[in-house]
Amino acid sequence: MTMFRRKDTGSAPSAEALRLVKVTRTYGSDGSAVTALDGVSLSLARGTFTAVMGPSGSGKSTLLQCAAGLDRPDSGIVRVDGTELTGVGEAALTRFRRGRVGFVFQQYNLLPTLTVAQNTILPLKLAGRRVDRKRARETLTAVGLGDRLGHRPDQLSGGQRQRVAIARALITEPRVIFADEPTGALDTRSAREVLRLLQEAVRVHGRTVVMVTHDPVAASYADAVVFLADGRLAGELRGPTVDAVAERLAHLGDDVTAGV
Ligand code: ADP
Ligand code: MG
């Protein structure tokens, strides 16, 4: 895509799914300004599953939104799959979001008047791409909803709704999937199904997943955890176990269960 600036930084862009360089995002102004992200630098390889953790208000959602092109940093560089988002215009950014990344939110964000199948293919329609109904059916079958194509969201459980959201995120075959607390509203079993699907997107399909979570069990599905505190990186844990994550969170010094 030629509308995006590409910068050669010496490392092969294709090996790197996400790079943030000194990303800063401040909300409000002057006296009431809140620095949500304070010079965050991060590099994630393609085909990895990373959890982002930290106390409520530490900047996790802001990090995800800046990384996904849903929000713009005040300064710093964001590069997704070799494409630098910093400095591109609004229309190009919208095209980028629609075509190159997928999103999963805590509250599913399905359109209530559309069926499961219609919700799933919506990103293809918005991106002006050919709507491949067979692939929509296959994608929904892969998330266990092949028999629910004509249902509406209010006829589904929370776990099923989130699986529709995952199918919707996968339908454009994005390189990077961003998920903000995708299991935050789910029971243990549904959460496990959602986490397995995200893991499968990485291990089987080579996608890159970046997932914000409060839950050490959810984080243990990832390959690595990055911790945030007060808008800054506060460590990293590779091959996270539930206990190791919980231990690390305890030492970040806040009650991580309070802000869900
Ligand atoms: P987290 O997801 O870790 O809970 P957020 O990224 O949502 O944290 O928020 C980080 C900080 O930025 C918090 O202090 C929050 O109040 C502030 N913040 C987030 N979004 C906005 C906004 N749209 N306007 C003003 N302040 C915001
Ligand atoms: Mg948040």
Give me ligand 1 centre to Cα 66, in Å. 12
**Which pLDDT score is estimated for 254?**
52
Residues 144-189: pLDDT tens digits? 999 999 999 999 999 999 999 999 999 999 999 999 999 999 999 9
258 pLDDT above the threshold of 50 = no
**Residue 4, domain member (yes or no):** no
Residue 60 has pLDDT above 90, yes or no: yes
What is the mean predicted confidence (pLDDT) over 76-101?
A: 92
How confident is the prediction for the chain on average, in pLDDT?
91
Does some domain include residue 182?
yes
Q: Where does the pLDDT of residue 253 fall: very low under 50, low under 70, confident under 90, or very high at 90 and above?
A: low
Q: What local confidence, expressed as pLDDT, does residue 7 receive? A: 47
Whether residue 18 is predicted with pLDDT greater than 90 in this model: the reply is yes
Spatial contact of 223 and 239, defined as CB atoms under 8 Å apart: yes
CA of 181 to the centre of ligand 2 (A): 7
Mutating to test ligand 1, I would choose from 61, 64, 233 the residue with most ligand atoms within 8 A of its C-beta, which is 61
251 pLDDT above the threshold of 80? yes
Give the range of the structural domain holding residue 20, as residue numbers without chain letter.
15-254
CA–centroid distance, residue 247 to ligand 1 (Å): 25
Distance 193 CA to ligand 2 centre (A): 22
Domain membership flag for residue 70:
yes
CA nearest to 221, candidates 4, 51, 37, 42: 51
Q: What would the two tokens of residue 53 be?
A: 């953790």
Q: Domain for residue 259, yes or no?
A: no
Does the Cβ of 73 fall within 6 Å of ligand 1?
no
| Closest atom, ligand 1, to C-alpha of 231 | 10
Note the pLDDT of residue 194. Answer: 96
Task: Please report, as a single letter, which amino acid is at residue 160.
Answer: Q
Is 117 among the domain residues?
A: yes
Q: Is 50 exceeded by the pLDDT of residue 4?
A: no
Whether residue 8 is contained in a domain is answered as no
Q: How many domains in the chain? A: 1
pLDDT of residue 5: 45
Whether ligand 1 lies within 6 angstroms of the CB of 27 is answered as yes
The 3-state secondary structure of 193-212, one letter per residue: HHHHHHHHHHHCCCCEEEEE
Distance of alpha carbon 225 from alpha carbon 137, whole angstroms = 33
**Strand (E) or helix (H) holding 45:** strand 34-45
Please name which ligand lies nearest the alpha carbon of 55: 1
78 φ/ψ angles, rounded to the nearest 5 degrees: -125, 125
Buried residues in 176-198 as b, exposed as e (16+ CB within 10 A): bbbbbbbbbbbeeebbbbbbebb
**Is 161 a domain residue?**
yes
Decide if pLDDT at 10 tops 80: no
CA of 201 to the centre of ligand 2 (A): 23
- The finding on whether 36 has its CB within 6 A of some atom of ligand 1 is yes
What pLDDT shows up at residue 17? 96
252 pLDDT tier (thresholds 50, 70, 90): confident
Closest CA to 101 of 160, 181, 18: 18
Which atom from ligand 1 is nearest to the alpha carbon of 65?
A: 6
State residue 6's pLDDT score. 46
Among 7-21, 40-54, 98-112, 172-186, name the one with the lowest average pLDDT.
Answer: 7-21
- Domain of 219, CATH number, reads 3.40.50.300
Q: In this structure, is residue 3 part of a structural domain? A: no
**Ligand 1 atom at minimum distance from 55 CA:** 3
pLDDT in tens, 178-225: 999 999 999 999 999 999 999 999 999 999 999 999 999 999 999 999
89, pLDDT greater than 80: yes
Measured by CA distance, the residue closest to atom 14 of ligand 1 is: 57
Question: Does the pLDDT value for residue 20 go beyond 60?
Answer: yes
39 pLDDT band (50/70/90 cuts)? very high
Residue 67 CA to ligand 1 center (angstroms) comes to 15
Q: What is the pLDDT of residue 255?
A: 47
